[in-house]
Chains A and B, each alone.
Chain A
Amino acid sequence: MAELSRELLFGAIVAYVIAMMCYAAEFVIGVSAPGGALLGARVRDRELVGAGAPIAARSGADDPTPVSPPASGAKPAGIQWPGLSGEAAIGSSAHADRGLRWLPFYGRLAVVVTGIGTLLHASGLVTRGIAAGRVPWGNMYEFLIAVTLVCSIAWMVLAIRRPAIRPLGLVVTLVLVVLLGLDLIVLRTAVEPLVPALNSYWLKIHVTLAITASGLFMTGFCVAALYLIRTGYEKRAGDGRPVGFPYTLGPRLPVATNLERLTFRIHAFTFPIWTLAIMCGAIWAEAAWGRYWGWDPKETWSFIAWVVYAGYLHARATPSVKRNVATLLAVGGFAVMMVNLFVINFAVSGLHSYAGVG
């Protein structure tokens, strides 16, 4: 069963890699197409839609170059897909349907393959749990599988509910592949029962919340990072400066205000979960070690992450702070989460060092 779990997870990585290549293909094609081509594509799309032909099938069949969505033309910044740029419009299924027909083939394929990856990923976690005969988050290996799964599920929910943000999938799958791959290769641990201190229902609550929050912060980080890329791109394009590497991704991304709002929503949703996770951890620590808070390295860095994210929420609510500065804090928060996960588990010993590494 444990072997099956690993195989499923490697399958998930393969799926994510394929999805990533699809997102990348969509990106490259979208970016390299000159403005004229975009316009041409739009005209053709119109005709095809008028004729009732499913656009994705057509472009997939006789034209290896999938058509790009039409440019709004209003700003250099931008591709705003019809009906998909406003929040309200994104929510409505009629618009989404219309949008879906406009979506290029590679992008849709990418979402489908990501979905397959998510399913494999989830089955990998479930089989691991069956193999261990307990909740599958007793050590760092399992923890990271679960965190990346939450991120992947969150991404699927977003990508289905708001097709306009699909280009972000490139970064999401990249992060998933890197972290899950690292986990499977470097951190692999044999199935073991929990050490007595972990054997508590507070464990299940605390760690479940921590996993959920970490996975959602991971998704939030991807959106935040792309928002920064998009604003950087808009600024450079607006100033007529050359657009260097990460910013070349900019033109294919949704407009900055939408990305920014999504960043905030994800973090505002996740922050209370993280707060609860820390709280339940403290309750557990009280029962297991006799004190609810002891400035153990893990506790300390969780607190630091909490403060940084609180700082983000504050900065965002303060009109005098620029939105991209505030978003930097969200990115910083995730960096702290990663320090907490990797550096603290490996380099610093504390009461949490049962993590099953070293």
Chain B
Amino acid sequence: MTDVQQQAAATGAPDPDDADWTVTQDRTPETAPSDDGGIGVRAAISFARRSWRGLTSMRTALILLFLLAIAAIPGSLLPQEKLNADKVAAYLAEHRTIGPFLDRVGAFNVFASPWFSAIYLLLFISLVGCLVPRLRGHIVNLRRVPPDAPARLHRLPVSRSDLRLGGTPAEAGERLRVLLRSRRYRTVVRSQPDGSLTVSAEKGYLKETGNLLFHFALLALLIGVAYGSWFGWHGGRLLVAGNDSGFCNTVSQLDDLSLGARMNAADLEPFCLTLNRFHASYLSDGQPVQYSADVSYTVGTGNGPTTTDNLRVNHPLRLPDANVYLIGHGYAPIVKYTDKYGHSVTQVAAFLPQDGNMTSTGAIMFPDVNINPATGSNVDPKTYVKQQMGFAGFYYPTVSTSDPTDASGSVYPAEDNPMLVLVPYRGDLGIDNGVSQSVYTLDQAQIDSGRLTAIDPSSPLRLRPGQTARLDDGSTVEFLGTRQWVSLSLRYDPGEKLVLGGAIALVIGLLLSLTGRRRRVWFRVVPEASGDGRTVSVASAGGLARAEYASFPVEFDGIVDAARESDGDGSADGGAAREGR
């Protein structure tokens, strides 16, 4: 108990909501009802009741919250499936004993694991269980009038006695009521049987209101997060610039897609999007300054109007039920291959950047070349292997001018001195056998099995834009230039608004809760016969504040002084004694 509470107890104040002046919310366990049926049932009920009490106590909620925090730690130290699947695979390959175990307990997907969800759910139930009774109690409290004055006001932490107020007690009481009301105290005046009159006033309910708001906001936040993960989705798409390479938001046209538990692919917001132009600006040391992508899009399934927008980092495209974020970019070399029969095909292949200077690597595949006009097939009649073409290599937006053959890396991210370095492969690319395969590398299994072989790997082709190289069979490769590509993240989270609203309410509640101060002030006005036969009033006053309100005595003094001034002859009570402690 705090001093203040002890004081309140000592004064024996007839205080119906004394409990409210103590802070703890842990209720004492009740004894099980005795009129129940069998022992087993009774025990079960009492166990259930005790479990419920335990679960909904503030201490449990806090322990659960701590558990949530501790459970989050492995999620921040171990690689996570959602954030970085490659690292998880690497970790599993490296730790052969502990890896599978960690995998089984969900350590690589902590934030979706059953135990994390269990803590989350228990916390939720605990919060509901403890908030509902508190809300009920607070509403009852809000409607209750301030309790009557304690018998001995002078034993309160701050008090004054012998305040001489003019007029009858009823008049003085009315003035006090007006005064306290004007200070936004909730005030009630009571006439006592002995002819005296008490004024009770209380203020600071906003503290508890704010506190409840805070905790309910927390609840709203938890609901919003869950709702968003059920009814939201997110996907990714690498989009090369150009009218011919737009995409629409369907499962088949996204590179990856993750649907919320309550979502169907058919629920995806229909829209189509094209990248018109991408521009990146860099400092002279290669540090990026700004990325900007001009896109055009149509919303809806029909041929809606086309709208253009400019997508930047921190500036997503917001569609009704989807947001599009610019999260990466790179170069896509355009290569024209003319086979020995004179048939040419042009391909645009996105290369993936490897470093800050955009040294990029990738593969360009020409599955439908070397088709013999006579046979209509590109299968070599002797080896029965397809004669498809593939190129693997690097693209350097700026090679070092001092040594252009030095292919150690790009020296600047913009295309100041570009070069494409390719190793040509001929054979079966292995892309027709139904197994999905990366478009950024040639199939290593095909190379290892000898079905896809490099042509003169010791001297790769070095091409500047516009240059052409001739291969052993007389076919040619021309590097036409590059297009830019962007990687887009597409997301929809319907819980977002609830989470934001909850977070704002949470802060407001927190501020109210931390700055609010509950306090009570009482006056007791006693009639006294003055010398000339009139009745005058003598008052005593006392005040009580809950903890954390060190300057309450100052406010109390202000009220008492104001009471005397509003009386009109404050000088009459020179004898008023301050008895603060």
Contact = CB atoms under 8 A, between A and B. Distances in A.
Interface of A: 87-88, 91, 192-193, 195-197, 199-200, 202, 261, 264, 268-269, 271-272, 275-276, 279, 282-284, 286-297, 300-301, 303-304, 307-308, 310-311, 313-315, 317-320, 344, 348, 350
A71 to B, nearest CB: 23
A88 B68 CA distance: 41
Contacts of A293: 225
16 contacts: A196-B289, A199-B313, A269-B514, A271-B510, A275-B507, A287-B316, A289-B327, A291-B234, A292-B499, A294-B83, A295-B82, A313-B514, A314-B58, A319-B1, A319-B24, A320-B26
Contacts of B59: 318
Question: What 7 A-B pairs have minimum CB-CB distances, sorted nearest first?
Answer: A297-B76, A300-B76, A290-B325, A87-B550, A200-B314, A304-B69, A196-B313
Contacts of A283: 500
Contacts of A268: 514
Contacts of B551: 87-88, 91
Contact of A287 (B26, B110, B314): B314
Nearest to A201: B314
A311 B290 CA distance: 41
Interface string B391-411: 000000000000000000000
Contact of A275 (B496, B510, B550): B510
Contact of A320 (B24, B225, B313, B489): B24
Given A303-B69, A313-B514, A319-B2, 19 more contacts: A197-B314, A199-B314, A200-B314, A261-B550, A269-B514, A271-B514, A286-B496, A287-B314, A288-B314, A288-B325, A290-B325, A291-B493, A295-B72, A295-B110, A301-B76, A311-B66, A315-B62, A319-B23, A350-B83
B269 to A, nearest CB: 14
A36 to B, nearest CB: 33
Contacts of B288: 195-196
A348 B77 contact: yes
A291 B491 contact: yes
A272 B24 contact: no
Nearest to B508: A272
Contact of A318 (B1, B58, B65, B316): B58
B491 A290 contact: yes
Counting chain B residues whose Cβ lies within 8 A of the other chain, the interface size class is 35 or more
A299 to B, nearest CB: 8
Contacts of A287: 314-316
B66 A307 contact: yes
Interface string B500-523: 100110110011001000000000
A267 B553 CA distance: 24
Given A272-B514, A288-B314, A304 B73 contact: yes
B502 to A, nearest CB: 10
Contacts of B266: none
B192 interface: no
B155 to A, nearest CB: 20
B529 interface: no
B111 interface: yes
A317 B503 CA distance: 22
A271 B489 CA distance: 33
Nearest to A267: B514
A213 B478 CA distance: 59
Contacts of B243: none
A28 B476 CA distance: 86
B361 to A, nearest CB: 21
Contacts of B73: 300, 304
B423 to A, nearest CB: 32
Nearest to B65: A307
Contacts of A284: 314
B235 to A, nearest CB: 10
Contact of B287 (A192, A202, A282, A320): A192
A282 B68 CA distance: 19
B19 interface: no
B120 interface: no
Nearest to B291: A196
A275 B506 contact: yes
B107 to A, nearest CB: 13
Contacts of A350: 76, 83
Q: Quick one: which of A196, A294, A318 has the most chain B CB within 10 A?
A: A196
Nearest to B22: A319
Contacts of B309: none
B157 interface: no
A301 B59 CA distance: 22
B283 interface: yes
Interface in B302-318: 312-316
B548 interface: yes
B80 interface: yes
Contacts of B489: 289-290
A322 to B, nearest CB: 13
Contacts of B503: 279, 282
B323 interface: yes
A105 to B, nearest CB: 31
Given A307-B68, A348-B76, A290 B316 contact: yes
Contacts of A199: 290, 313-314
A193 B281 CA distance: 12
B435 interface: no
B570 interface: no
Nearest to B285: A192
B69 A308 contact: yes
B554 interface: yes
Nearest to B554: A88
Contacts of A279: 503-504, 507
B494 interface: no
Contacts of A292: 493, 496, 499-500
A297 B511 CA distance: 28
Nearest to B489: A290
B72 to A, nearest CB: 5
A195 B2 CA distance: 53
B75 interface: yes
Given A289-B327, A318-B24, A264 B72 contact: no
Contacts of B511: 272
B65 A311 contact: yes
Given A291-B493, A297-B76, A195 B287 contact: yes
A295 B80 contact: yes
A307 B514 CA distance: 16
Nearest to A200: B314
